[in-house]
Each structure stands twice: as C-alpha cells, then as structure tokens.
Amino acid sequence: THLHRHRNPHPVQLLEMCKDVSEGMAYLESQQYLHRDLAARNCLVDSQGTVKVTDFGLSRYVLDDEYTSSAGSKFPVRWSPPEVLLYCKFSSKSDVWAFGVLMWEIYTLGKMPYERLNNTDIVQKVSSGLRLYRPQLANERIYSIMMACWNDKPEDRPTFQELAANVQDLLYDLQ
C-alpha cells in the first residue's frame, strides 16, 4: 500500500511515518547517497505500518555531496528546492527539502503539493519564497520541522540525522 491509502490515521502514526523515512534517509546520507526523488509515491508501507523508502531510479552515489545534472534533465519540480529548480544543483540538502514536502504529503493525507500551480509557476514562486501552507493535522512544532527543510539556503537546512532526532523528540512527547 502507498501512504495515501491510509484513512484517518492517529497523530502517532503520522509521526512514525516521518520517523521511518527520516531514519532511512539518515542512513543514505551517512553512505553519501542522494535519492533525488524522495516523495510519498516512492514510499511503501508494510503490514506493520513501517514505511520503507524505495525507487532509487534517480539516486546517485556522490562523493562530494553534490550532483549537478546536465541541462534538460528531468526532476520532480514539486519536491525540489530553489537551487535545483534554478541550477539543477542536487545535494543531500535537496533531499532534505523533498523530505519536508513528503512530511506535508503525510500530514495532508496525500494532497498534491502546490495543487493549483503548474511547473513554471512553481519555479518562479518557490524561488521567490513561496512555501506550502501548514496542514490541518500538523501542529506548529511539526510545521516548523517542514519549514526548516524549506530554508532558502541549503546549508541552513537540517541534516537527516538532526531531522530523525527532532521527530523522535516529538514522538517521545506524544507517548
């Protein structure tokens, strides 16, 4: 089952999904892998409700933590940060941005990011500061994690290791 097939999940379940993905991505980050297509559609939920990150079709092994693709390459615009939209500059921090969008997908129960905008509008608006709104199911603390992932400057975004720890703290408070 894909993420958005789950109905009326409990807050702990939503956060557990974020935790599973952040831990999987922290592992990739530690191995210097970029995923480059992190999104709910590439996450699978097993019968225990554990989320696995899949679909490494676009992933690249990079030693210097950065991958600049050639012109005209395809990438998922709705999940991409300004530096990818403008300069095709991929790094583990562009995966972090995508993780923020994936959290948003989880907390909207599978809505399409920027649903009313086309790709051209998204490039223009996100580059000039537009961010996704706070989903109803996400409290301020959860939204602040998303917003941290969407920092304009890649170096100001958290690492996946930090994200996993933040999500763990929130889970701890819920239980």
77, 13, 75, 84: which is closest to 49 by C-alpha?
Answer: 13
CB 98 within 8 A of CB 28: no
d(CA 102, CA 145) in angstroms, rounded, equals 12
The reply to whether 156 belongs to the active site is no
CA torsion, ordered 71, 72, 78, 81, to nearest 10 deg: 0
Measured in degrees and rounded to the nearest 5, phi and psi for residue 52 equal -115, 135
* From 20, 37, 169, 173, active-site residue: 37
Residues annotated as part of the active site: 37
